[in-house]
Amino acid sequence: MGRVEGKVALVTGAARGQGRSHAVRLAEEGADVVVTDVCHDISDELPYPLASKEQLEETAELVRATGRRCVAVQADVRSVGEMRVAVDAAREEFGRLDTLVANAGVMSIGAAWELSEEAWDVVMDVNLKGPWNAVRAAIPWMIEAGQGGSVIITSSAAGIRGHVPYAHYVASKHGVVGLMKALSNELAPHRIRVNTVHPTGVSDTGITVGVPIEELAEREPLFALAAMNPLAPYVEPRDVSNAVLFLASDEARYVTGLQFTVDAGSTNKP
């Protein structure tokens, strides 16, 4: 216990799924947490409803139930201004920020040449521009504080391999790897580490593709192949949270520029 005792983390996309799990897991190990989510639907091109204000507050209550403090901020990662409001909340409430978990993400499906411009843009804006905005908001203060820190960006097994049928999602998740690699070099002089986590399919995230997985697998044989993990069909949010916890902790003080897979063997299979 206490692996991140005294630290403060900001987690985006925290109203449910992986983001909620990350916030709670960090709190269990001693961190105070700022949680954010957009809390309303942002595009008809996404085939599922986004999380609500009530779910974000539920996350905050789960964090508080561990005995740690939590601030919930409704914020859209597509806006650097709203990300700065979240960072300011960390500054005002806790006086420091040690860990940024840029987790917010969305997805939809479709052949690359058939995707609408809006479908492409909303996925890229949330999944790639979103982490950049979070970094733009958090890093200046982290550098000024001079205490080092950790930035953890949620990528995917699709950030390593060419999964189908969602080229825009694959491009966004590859894109955050490039962002991570560049940032890990830029921020090393400030003792700020930057890494990505790469889950395979994760249970209980609230994200769907709009059709039953079995139907999609029958329609898209390459999707079915990508979804076949050697160890298990999927992982649970807490499995990914344990990787986030390690990267946030001082146990990972010399770990930077890493693509950390939590994929049940997905990206290593023949």
CB 124 within 8 A of CB 172: yes
**CA-angle at 126, arms to 247 and 60, nearest 5°:** 60
- Residue 234 among the catalytic residues: no
Q: Which of 48, 166, 169, 254 is catalytic?
A: 169
CB 125 within 8 A of CB 227: no
Q: Are strands 192-199 and 8-11 parallel, antiparallel or unpaired?
A: unpaired
For the chain, how far is it from start to end, CA to CA, in angstroms? 38
Give the distance from CA 100 to its chain's centroid. 10
Structure tokens at 126: 């949330």
To 10 degrees, the CA torsion angle through 108, 173, 141, 37? 20
> Which residues are marked as active site?
169
